[in-house]
Amino acid sequence: MATSTQAQMKFFTLQKDSVALFRGFAVSFDLAGAGMLMLSDYGQYEAALRVNLHDEWFPIVEAGLGKATHDDDVTRLYYSTSAPYFKIGIDKNMLRDKHGPNRLYLGVRYGFTSYKIDIARPNFVDPVWQWDTGFGLHDVACKYHWAEILIGIDVKIFGPLHLGWSVRYKQRLAHSEDGDWGKPWYVPGFGTYDSKLGATFNVIIDI
């Protein structure tokens, strides 16, 4: 038990050396989400601001704009949403050499978004009763809270420029939707409603 407690304390304490606690800021931009947005029906523009504490702990704020516009050829359903989202969390550099040029991160995030969705379908005929039928939901307000755990790497290219990758496991914490109409298909910043995995490819600049 004593060994376990000591290990936990070691995890949460800073490595003792002569390097200063505050080591600066870094801004980053996610190219994976932007690429998804260009190549598919949904994705996000995301930027982050990270604080470097002793090259070991990295509190981070991520913010972005998540968008989806899907017009299904088969079901003829149209889905649209666009909203900002915010994530806050912290990463820990797991490498033994904390002050080296590269980093291996283990991190956690809490994410939140408040968004509105539009769902529509061209009028169609009720297949049994033959009445003309319209189908649509407009400006339905929704909220979504989630958590992420991630593993990531950060590689120094030259000067202040780094490149980073992360793989994330996402878990919904809470959600709410106005009205009893079903569930959203895409949530800004989170991805499709029941998705569990995500990834980022970041361009990082030390400032």
Partner 1 sequence: MRKWLMVLAAAVVASCTSIDCPVNSLVLTQYQFTSSDGQVLTLLDTLTVAMTRKDGKDTLFNKGSQISTFYLPISYSHPEDELVFHFDGDSLHRTDTLWVKKDDYPHFESVDCNANFFHKLTAIRCTHNLLDSVAIHNPSVTNDEKVIHVYIYPKTDD
Q: Compute the Cα dihedral for 6, 7, 12, 14 and give only its sign.
A: positive
Query: Is residue 197 a contact point for partner 1 (CB under 8 A)?
Result: yes
Sole binder of partner 1 in the list 79, 105, 115, 144 (CB under 8 A): 79
Query: Is residue 39 a contact point for partner 1 (CB under 8 A)?
Result: no
Q: DSSP letter at 179?
A: S
Helix (H) or strand (E) holding 24: strand 22-30
Q: How far is the CB of 91 from partner 1 (least distance, A)?
A: 19
Residues 6 or more apart in contact with residue 89 via CB below 8 angstroms? 59, 60, 62, 107, 108, 109, 110, 148
Query: Is residue 1 a contact point for partner 1 (CB under 8 A)?
Result: no
Query: Is residue 74 a contact point for partner 1 (CB under 8 A)?
Result: yes
Sole binder of partner 1 in the list 185, 189, 190, 202 (CB under 8 A): 185
Q: Between residues 6 and 192, which has the closer beta carbon with respect to partner 1?
A: 192
Q: How far is the CB of 86 from partner 1 (least distance, A)?
A: 23
Tokens, residue 114: 């408040």
Q: Which of 171, 190, 182 is nearest to 83 (CA)?
A: 190
Q: Which of 121, 162, 173 is nearest to 24 (CA)?
A: 162
Q: How far is the CB of 170 from partner 1 (least distance, A)?
A: 10
Site for partner 1 in 143-162 (CB under 8 A): none
What is the binding site for partner 1 (CB under 8 A)? 70, 72, 74-77, 79, 119, 121, 124, 126, 128-131, 133-137, 167, 179-183, 185, 192-197
